[in-house]
Chain A
Amino acid sequence: MSEAVTSAASAAPVLVARDIRKVFGALVALDGAEVSVAKGEIVGLIGPNGSGKSTLLHVISGRTPATGGTVTLGGRDVTRAKPSDRIRAGLSIKFQLARVYLDQTVADNLLLAIQSQAPLVSLMLSRSRAAAASTIDELLEGFHLTHARSQLARELSHGEQQWLEIAMAMALKPTVLLLDEPTAGMSREERLATGERIRAARERCGVLIVEHDLDFIRGLCDRISVLHQGKIIASGTPAQIEADPRVQEVYLTRV
């Protein structure tokens, strides 16, 4: 792995996944993959279909237990922690397939994210959604969803559901934000707007973003890692990655 990278962040990494292995039966989905993200940094993760990108995010978030390797969040080993504990330790994830609460309103979906770490007793007693209202308004505005505030999430378009999910992920105020294909199914303008929101989020956290769209990721990321058959085969600035012959070889079959 090339370490001669001009990283935007000099700070200690907020996320380190080291030597991750994941085996599904006979299939080796991840074979010693590694990735690290520092505060204020946007790291891209690319690779052909089935190369293990989503699986890596699932291992980091605790959705899938790793077969081997370690995950640390802000210096704390969370390899065996439950998802909810990782979230409480500062992680946040947007899944590849938008997974919002279809039968709740857009505002309630956001409320669910905003209040998720409040004590249960206070949730039972205070029906006052007032405290969260201004945060909800901000998020709605930032993601162009103000008009949909009291609509059910199932009434949103595909792109809007993606936005809602990204907004929920950001509402957790994470220190590490994992985004799996945030712009899938979006129009060009929607992609641009999404890019803006991600850039705005970097001030508070490190971002790890899985994308197929190189045009989108080129302007956004400080660093890009390329996953191929469960291994990181290259890592560097967008320019370095695009010039890398190994990457071109892997990608020749697609795009």
Chain B
Amino acid sequence: MRLSLRSRFDGRSGGRNLALLVGVLAVAPLVLAVLGLDYYTIVLTQALILGILALSGDLAWGSTGIFTLGQAVFFGIGAYAVGELAKHLGVTDVLAASVIGLGVGAFAGVLVGLFLFVGSRVGELYVGLVTLALAFAAERFATGWDVIGAYNGVPGIPGPTLGPLVLEYGPTTYYTIFALFVLVLYGAYQLNKSQFGLVMRAVRDDGERAEFLGYRRTTVQIVVFSITSALAGMAGGLYALSSGFVSPSFLGVTLSTQVLLWVVLGGRGTLVGPLLGLGLVYVLGGRIAEFQPQLWPVILGLILLGTILYLPGGLIGRRVVPLRKRVAVTTAAAPTGGGDRV
């Protein structure tokens, strides 16, 4: 049986929600400054970078149905690449970091994508298992490899610059990252809205049918997987610069699973939903992880389960008929046979 969480990408209202979110984010540092909460501008900067990761997860799982549990692997690869280059060669420019992150992410994404999709017809669950194993292996590997600092990771990465400017923590860094974030968001929105976006949803909803229209499903999946891996790599590179360190957990299962949680919680394929999902988990998580670190993964799991069972469209997604009712309705409406679609 296929995992059936669907939502419709509604270009117009989606655009309005995104514009609203961008507006709020644009004034957030000012509001925080007035409230005397300047520290949170730095937190919000990190959240924006993770937002790029959330968008990449949404394009893969939300829009195209690629059930990836390894999005952090590409994030981590971007982070390590930029971290090492910044530390040893002084590459601290955010634009350079973005390009490097995109490049290594795309490269790794093509390789993994080819491995995942060429020749295999095993479906969503297979992709999930392999990417999960990959995330697990990547983290273990990084923890053991001295060249990249083993379990210490890469500490002491110099701060971000932009051309000749050294970016101070606070509003300067925030707005630089914000600009990049908006650029990625706009690109993702246009991609969803494009005719290719329609193909992505067709591959998600019924990939075999898409082949019988003449689409090469494997090619579409590899292209999308590479794009989203590139974006994850870019996010990783920026995160390395703005947080000043990289650790093996950047590559790992916990972060990968969280990406999926943001997407499912917020609403698949809506872009704005996963960003809200990220916001919620990030804010909640910050508090809970502080006081109950061992309880946090359990809570994440419960949120994921609860969303799938009771809010299949996510917070923003179209109201979807719960699974059990839908099966009943389908059988009643199509007496000539339902075996094909279920």
Give A residues with C-beta under 8 Å from B: 61, 63, 82-84, 87-88, 93, 95-97, 99, 101-104, 108, 111-113, 115-118, 120, 123-127, 129, 152, 158, 168, 172, 184-185
Contacts and interface: CB of A to CB of B under 8 A. Distances in A.
A124 B196 contact: yes
A84 B206 contact: no
What is the predominant secondary structure among interface residues of chain A facing chain B? loop
A88 B214 contact: yes
B50 to A, nearest CB: 25
Contacts of B209: 99, 101
A125 B202 contact: no
Contact of B213 (A63, A120, A124, A172): A172
Contacts of B211: 82-84, 87
Given A97-B341, A117-B214, A112 B198 contact: yes
A139 to B, nearest CB: 14
A117 to B, nearest CB: 5
A108 B198 contact: yes
A133 to B, nearest CB: 12
Contact of B334 (A88, A97, A120, A168): A97
Contact of A97 (B198, B213, B223, B340): B340
A53 B213 CA distance: 21
A185 B195 contact: no
A61 B211 CA distance: 11
Contacts of A184: 336
Contacts of B205: 101-104
B195 A101 contact: no
15 contacts: A61-B212, A63-B212, A82-B211, A83-B212, A84-B215, A88-B214, A96-B337, A97-B340, A123-B199, A124-B196, A126-B194, A127-B190, A152-B8, A158-B334, A185-B336
Contact of B195 (A82, A104, A127, A158): A127
Contact of A116 (B215, B223, B337, B341): B215
A94 B195 CA distance: 23
A84 to B, nearest CB: 5
A87 B214 contact: yes
B19 interface: no
Given A108-B198, A112-B198, A103 B216 contact: no
A168 B336 contact: no
B206 A99 contact: yes
Interface in B148-205: 190-191, 193-196, 198-199, 201-202, 205
A61 B334 CA distance: 24
Contacts of A95: 212, 340
Given A84-B214, A120-B220, A101 B202 contact: yes
Given A84-B212, A87-B212, A108-B198, 17 more contacts: A61-B212, A88-B214, A96-B337, A97-B336, A97-B338, A111-B195, A111-B198, A112-B198, A112-B210, A115-B195, A117-B214, A120-B196, A120-B220, A152-B8, A158-B334, A184-B336, A185-B336
A129 B196 CA distance: 11
A87 B220 CA distance: 16
A87 B190 contact: no
B190, B209, B219, B334, most chain A CB atoms within 10 A: B209
B339 to A, nearest CB: 8
A101 B199 CA distance: 11
B340 A116 contact: no
B304 to A, nearest CB: 23
A104 B11 CA distance: 12
Nearest to B223: A120
A111 B205 CA distance: 16
B184 to A, nearest CB: 15
A101 B206 contact: yes
Nearest to B190: A127
Contacts of A158: 333-334, 336
Nearest to B191: A124
A97 B212 CA distance: 14
Q: Which of B194, B206, B337 has the most CB of A within 10 A?
A: B194
Contacts of B193: 127
A184 B337 CA distance: 11
A124 B336 contact: no
A192 B311 CA distance: 44
Given A63-B212, A97-B341, A168-B213, A112 B223 contact: no
A120 B219 contact: yes
Contacts of B210: 112
A126 B214 contact: no
A128 to B, nearest CB: 8
A63 B207 CA distance: 12
A115 B194 CA distance: 12
A102 B341 CA distance: 11
Contacts of B190: 127
- Please indicate which of the listed interface residues B194, B195, B196, B340 has the most CB atoms of chain A within 10 Å of its own CB: B195
Nearest to A87: B214
A59 B232 CA distance: 41
A129 B198 CA distance: 11
